[in-house]
Structure 1
C-alpha cells in the first residue's frame, strides 16, 4: 500500500514538531502585529549581516534630533519625549524582521543593536549596530541623519546591515 502526504500535511507535521517554525520568516517583536497587518504607524526593519545568532536583538526609537538621539531612555521618558525599545532573542535561523510602532506619523531615528552576550549595556568590542542609511559608522558616534526615517500612517520598511568593530577603523559591515 502506497502512502502519500500532501505538502500541506507535511507542513502541519513540521509545525507540530517545532512550534517556533511558525514564526520563521515573519515579523518579530512585541509590535509585530502592527507591521504584519499594515496598521501602522510603525517601522519594519529587515536586518542582515548578523555575525552570529546569539544574544539579543534590539530596535530603539528616538526623536530625530542631535540632542535626543541615543540619550538614556529614562531621561527621554522623564521629559515626555519619544523612546521605545523592542527586544527579542536572536532567532537561530531565517530572515530577521523587527517591528516597532511609533506614536504618530512623523520623523524618527531608529537604531538597531545586536547584543551578542545578551547584556543591557552595549559592548563596544563584541556587539553590532546598524542604522537606516547603512553608512559605515567607523569610530565616530552615529549621526542622527543616518538613523532618521520618515513614517507615514502605514508601515515604513527599511533594510539595515549590521556593523561590528573591525580593528582600528572602527565599526563597519562584515565582509
Structure 2
C-alpha cells in the first residue's frame, strides 16, 4: 500500500517536472524568435556579433539613393544603446504584424540617425519606429500598453489618449523620386 502511494507520488513529480521542462524550453525558444514568432534562419550579422545584440543581415537599412523610390528617414532623440527599429506599413492591417511591409533594425547611435526604406511602388505609407534600449527586439509596454521605450510615428502625431494612432494621422505619399521624413522619438516614461 505504501509502495503504491510512493509510486503515485513519484509519477506525479515526474509529470510535473516534465511539464516544467517543456515550458521552460519553449520560453527559451521564444526569446530567440523574432517579432513574427518565427525562428530566424540566418546567422547574426557581424555588427550584431561585435555589439552583442541580435541583428541579422536582413535587418539592415537599405542603401540611400537620392531621388530613388524610397523613404529616407531621419530619426531624432536616439542614444547609442540597443537597437533602433523601423517598420513600414501600408493602409491594410496598419500596426498589425500581418501589415508590416518592411522591418529594419540597426544599432542605435547618438544623435539623429538616417535610414532608408525601399518601397515597391509609389503610394501611401506610414512608418513606425522605436528605440529598443535593452536590445531584446521587443517594445516594452506598461499594463495599459503605453510604450516604456522611446517611440515615434511618421508625421509625429501627438498621442493624447490611450489609443492607437489612425493610419490617416501617420500616412504620407511617396512619389517615384522618394521622400524624406523625420520621426521624433518620444519617451513617455519620463
TM-score by length of 2: 0.59
1:54 is the counterpart of 2:77: no
Tell me, yes or no, if the aligned pair for 1:110 and 1:149 is still in contact at 8 Å. Answer: no
Tell me, yes or no, if the aligned pair for 2:149 and 2:189 is still in contact at 8 Å. Answer: no
Q: What is the match of residue 96 of structure 2?
A: 71
1:41 is the counterpart of 2:74: no
Match of 2:101 among 79, 83, 96: 83
- What is the CA RMSD across the aligned residues, in angstroms? 2.0
Choose between structure 1 and 2: higher helix proportion: 2
Alignment partner of 1:163: what SS?
A: coil
Q: What is the match of residue 149 of structure 1?
A: 172
* Structure with the greater alpha carbon radius of gyration: 2
Alignment partner of 1:123: what SS?
A: coil
Choose between structure 1 and 2: higher strand proportion: 1
Q: CA offsets per residue over residues 72-103 of structure 1, 9 Å max, x none?
A: 1xx34xxxxx6101110102x34311111111
Alignment partner of 2:187: what SS?
A: strand
Partner Cα separation in structure 2 for residue 143 and residue 119 of structure 1: 27
5+ residue gaps in structure 2?
A: 1-59, 143-147
5+ residue gaps in structure 1?
A: 1-28, 77-81, 168-175
Aligned length: 125
**Structure number with higher relative contact order (C-alpha < 8 Å, ≥ 6 residues apart):** 1
Partner Cα separation in structure 2 for residue 140 and residue 41 of structure 1: 32
Ranges of 4+ aligned residues in structure 1 off by more than 6 Å: none
Partner Cα separation in structure 2 for residue 128 and residue 146 of structure 1: 19
Q: What is the match of residue 140 of structure 1?
A: 163
TM-score by length of 1: 0.64
